[in-house]
Amino acid sequence: MPSGSPQSGAGRVIGGRYLLLNRLGAGAMGHVWLAHDRRLACEVALKEIVFRDPVEATEERAARVARARAEARHAAGLRGHPHVVTVHDVLEHEGLPWIVMEYVAGALDLRDLVLRRGPLAPAECARIGLAVLDALTAGHERGVMHRDVKPANILLAPDRTGTPYVRVLLTDYGISVQPDTGETRYTLTSALVGTPGYLAPERATGGPPTPAADLFSLGCTLYFAVEGCGPFERDTHLAEVTAVVLEEPRPPERAGALEPLLDVILAKDPALRISAAGAAAALAAIVAPQSPPRPGVDLGSQPSWERSEARTETSHRTAADGFGPASGRGNRGGAPTAAESAAGTPAHSGPPVPPSASYGRDVLGGPAAPGFGPPLTLRERHPRRSQVLRALAACGLGLVLALGGVWYATAHRPDDGSAKPYGDAIALARPLRDGDCVVADWPGDPFQGGTPRLSVAPGCAEKSPDGQVMAVVTNASADEAHTRGPTECEQRTQEVRERLADVRSFAVVPTPAGFEAAGRRTACLVLGAHGPVYGPLGDHRRPGMTFVDTANMQKRDCLDAPSLRLARLVSCTGSHDQQVLGFTRLSPDITLTEAKSLSDAACARDVPPREYGYDPSRYEAASWTGNGAWTSGTHLVVCTVRRQNGGTMGVDEP
């Protein structure tokens, strides 16, 4: 056994809190364990740092522990970021450092995925790169460099629906959550330099870590993902480092739309390397190519009353607000062009044409503006009273028709969605508020690219709501809402989503025209992934609430269960009958009636209370089944723990 390495095995409790369940893997840096946090009743990953050399154990122990603490402190500053594996804590147990991290179930790193399935498509590489870049930028803004971006440090995990490889997570800010892959690492005075073949040239020659160096490593990673090999891959590590410094990357063969970005992100000179913002824009364009912008409406093609109205509206807005037409409305205001403004010439010279002029010609068929028609005779200059009356009547009729035309054009003008905060697809007339429950009417399969039509369910009781607004995020502009809103919503809803069995995040982003009407805010929804949630979620629930289905039961909920068919939410600080530990899924061929007799055994097998610190001689597994899980086809069961004698549980439980 290596010196300084204590006995390790399932069943040990580390730091008086973390129960080791099974070993996930081992490498040169140590062992990685799946563990149960007995205090928070959740699974975590524990990395055990071991010393394989007695001399190293004596001389390097203090430096190794200090370095682990510093790295964990940096990584913990990114806690909650949707694309960073969270580091919770660093502790010492029997003289060795242990690192406590988020456990990512079902994850596969990018290196293994490419080795198993072959190179990825450019658009998929761009999606992954965009997520990793977002994580790196968040660290750079805090002054934290990753220093070891590579395929093995990018995890691809299933989302809440079980779809594989959807979540993208960056690991190892000097601390790998995965077992070491065997790739050599170089250290200079206890500072991690990186992995051969993925180092930036300036780092390989001893330069300091910088954001530009992380970008170079990201470029190497994207090259590997799309080509199936690294840009500087050689037979030996020394040859790889030499190639990074002195040689150009191999010309890519499969990169397609990604090739121009790879060319500028792998520049040897960091001053010539593309910036993070430029790389983000390039990746986003590959993920979601933008259609050409619609040309502005030609002012001359509009009816004369719209031209006059638009010029007046635009001039008022420009004078009051100091800017041109509102974003997203097009150039219907007829504002002067930049050249016209510079020259001091209005877009149209002369007075605006009155509405009656247009309709006098188009509707009545005769001249309606002065200066048209033959010269008036002497008799016509002195008309009789009847002629005057007829002329007045004609003018009145023309005015009525003109006003009618204005009304018709206004009433039947195509709706641009400006009255709706989120546009015509969402169709809400008012902005969503924190706590609003909603019903979502999807045009096709939920979350498959379409936009749902939303309606608010008052009191979270009507129509079995599909989800709830869990947060609202204020944005500086409509563009910021579009680019940052979904990511911010992922962050703001992460905690509640992790405690539910089958939900997803959905950002309701205001349209440019409805940005102000939305209160300049993006609404962050949590929606059932395959069906309704049947009631409020998270902190919007109140003690004493009766569950009508299992869909909104959460991990660590404490329940009062006076009968087998009734469960109420109660505070865990008082007495309760059961506590929710997790979820399991039954076979698709099991009916709901059969599930009610089989679910307890399934929970005892898949979510055993002993793994959460409960003494098996005093506690037993219990379960709840709901109609919603069978209607949606998920067959999810809520697993709980209870006392074997049927007694109540209290605050002294594990």
CA distance 450 to 204: 47
Residue 431 falls inside a structural domain = yes
pLDDT of the residue at 293: 46
Interval 66-79: pLDDT, tens: 666 666 666 667 77
Q: Tell whether the model's pLDDT for residue 410 goes beyond 80.
A: no
Interval 96-116: pLDDT, tens: 778 888 888 888 899 989 998
Residue 160 falls inside a structural domain = yes
- Give the mean pLDDT of 544-554: 92
The 3-state secondary structure of 86-143 reads CEEEEEEECCEEEEEEECCCCCEEHHHHHHHHCCCCHHHHHHHHHHHHHHHHHHHHCC
Question: Which positions ≥6 away from 605 have C-beta within 8 Å?
Answer: 584
Residue 260 in tokens = 């121009």
Residue 375 falls inside a structural domain = no
Binding residues: 47
Residue 26: pLDDT band with limits 50, 70, 90: low
Catalytic pick from 148, 502, 549, 560?
148
Residue 328 falls inside a structural domain = no
Q: Tell whether the model's pLDDT for residue 630 goes beyond 60.
A: yes
pLDDT of the residue at 507: 93
CA distance 343 to 361: 34
233 with 129, same domain: the answer is yes
Residue 561 in tokens = 């269960």
Nearest in space to 256 (alpha carbons), one of 299, 233, 286: 286
Interval 246-297: pLDDT, tens: 999 999 999 999 999 999 999 999 999 999 999 999 999 998 765 444 433 3
49 with 168, same domain: the answer is no
- Give the mean pLDDT of 568-579: 91
Residue 243: pLDDT band with limits 50, 70, 90: very high
Range among 11-25, 37-51, 117-131 with highest mean pLDDT value:
117-131
Residue 387: pLDDT band with limits 50, 70, 90: low
CA distance 271 to 275: 9
CA distance 248 to 464: 60
601 with 573, same domain: the answer is yes
95 with 199, same domain: the answer is no
Question: Which positions ≥6 away from 163 have C-beta within 8 Å?
Answer: none
208 with 283, same domain: the answer is yes
What is the pTM (predicted TM-score) of this model? 0.46
Nearest in space to 205 (alpha carbons), one of 194, 219, 215: 194
Residue 29: pLDDT band with limits 50, 70, 90: low
Count of structural domains, the chain? 4
Task: Find the helix or strand (DSSP H, E) in which 224 lies.
Answer: helix 211-227
Q: What percent of the chain has pLDDT over 70?
A: 69
516 with 550, same domain: the answer is no
Q: For residue 60, count CB atoms less than 10 angstroms from its CB and return exposed for 0-12, middle for 13-18, buried for 19 or more.
A: middle
Residue 191 falls inside a structural domain = yes
446 with 534, same domain: the answer is yes
Binding residues for ATP: 47
527 with 632, same domain: the answer is no
Q: Tell whether the model's pLDDT for residue 602 goes beyond 60.
A: yes
Q: Tell whether the model's pLDDT for residue 362 goes beyond 50.
A: no
Residue 597, number of CB atoms within 10 A of its CB: 10
Question: Which positions ≥6 away from 410 have C-beta within 8 Å?
Answer: none
Tell me the average pLDDT of the chain: 75
Residue 620 falls inside a structural domain = yes
Q: Tell whether the model's pLDDT for residue 82 goes beyond 60.
A: yes
224 with 99, same domain: the answer is no
pLDDT of the residue at 247: 94
pLDDT of the residue at 9: 72
CA distance 249 to 223: 9
Instruction: Write out the residue range of the structural domain in which residue 125 sits.
Output: 106-288
Q: Is 235 a catalytic residue?
A: no
133 with 167, same domain: the answer is yes
Residue 56: pLDDT band with limits 50, 70, 90: low
